Amino acid sequence: MAKCVPGMPCYDNSVIVYTTYPAGCQTEVPGPFTLPLSSDDVYYSGPNLSYAGINNTDSLTISLQKIDAKLSPTELINLIITAIQGDPVLRTALCTALSC
């Protein structure tokens, strides 16, 4: 059997089992995990995603909540307004488009 590395599939009796939490994290769910997995037991292990605010130890549940918050209409409008206010080129382009 091949050595299992976090983030890589591990094969045991033709069943794919994934490492679902970062090293050092604890879970009360007994292993092997039953399917379907809870999104609370699956962790993001890539680089921090600064625009979404997702860290490499956030659970899938937390990551999706952060993405959902960033996609709210209020948040999107605030981001657009902030970008236009801080960039004279964008402000000029908006005024040209709106004939101000």
Q: Which residues lie closer than 8 Å to 15 by C-beta, 6 or more apart? A: 32
Q: Which residues lie closer than 8 Å to 4 by C-beta, 6 or more apart? A: 10, 17, 19
* Predicted pLDDT at 43: 87
Q: Please state the three-class secondary structure of the chain as a single string.
A: CCCCCCCCCEEECCEEECCCCCCCCCCCCCCCCCCCCCHHHCECCCCCECCCCECCCCEHHHHHHHHHHHCCHHHHHHHHHHHHHHCHHHHHHHHHHHCC
**Average confidence (pLDDT) per 10 residues, the chain, 100 residues:** 50 50 55 68 88 91 93 89 91 89
Q: Which residues pair with 11 in a beta bridge?
A: 16
* Predicted pLDDT at 11: 47
Quote the tokens at residue 68: 């959902």
